[in-house]
Structure 1
Amino acid sequence: MKKGNSDPLTDAQKAELAALEALPDSTIDTTDAPPVTDWTGAQRGKFYRPVKKLLSLRLDADLIAWFKEDGEGYQTRINEALREYVEKHRGESVS
């Protein structure tokens, strides 16, 4: 799924965020937020997104065609395949 970029922050929004960041935690009113006591549905790392780097990479045309067969998101699928390979081979010596 492709996501668009958010609109850039205005100067007023940046100033408001800076002012909020400067506040000590003790001044934050959390009385309207109920305490979370049930964590059974929690998922560790759900919102974690690794830093992406732009890279030019030469791949065989048949590999690209295979990943593109399922439509949009082929780059994500290539990334997932590489990550799976790395996880499987992590700790092995590279020769």
Structure 2
Amino acid sequence: MPDHEIDLSDIPEITDWSGFKIAPFYRPIWKDFCLKLDEFSLNYLENGLTGGQSLDEAVNRALRAQMYRIRFPVRVQKAGKTILRVQKSPDDIAGLTDFQKKQIEILYGMPVELVASFHEVITREKIEGLGRGVKKDVRLKLDENIIDCFEERLEDGQSLVEALNQALMDHINWVSSPRGAQQEEEPAGKAGDSA
């Protein structure tokens, strides 16, 4: 049925969505998960991305951001252009919609104001010297939706632990790159993925 045929005589149409929140009562189902985390990723998350949060929250936020980049490459490119614009003109932040701000927050794991204030959010020099290749066993609580998403995308012979480690590294490389979402290449994903 087209919109103009909907009978709204007994219920007024909502036109102002400014006070609404997306899924305010959603609570993820958590799964205990033992992950062999690359020490580089572990230190990076603890030093750069936690912002006072627990390691569980930092890992979930990073994996959710990577999941978002894989599923919505077009939105990632749009968010990247938005960040470039507000970095050049910080006053433009006030003109962003809540949806734009939420996308940027998901992608970078921090508020848009913080992302816009840095041309390099977290530099590689800041984390230079941290161990790479050394694995540590870490027990985490991961969002079941994130686990399901990466389980569906496993390549032949790839374990879930390897896929999650790779996703964390991809997220770290993306956020710590000089231009983040402004890179021309699309996020890593299987052929046929689309927004």
* TM-score using structure 2 length: 0.21
Higher percent of residues as helix = 2
Bigger radius of gyration, 1 or 2? Answer: 1
The structure that is strand-richer by fraction is 2
TM-score by length of 1: 0.38
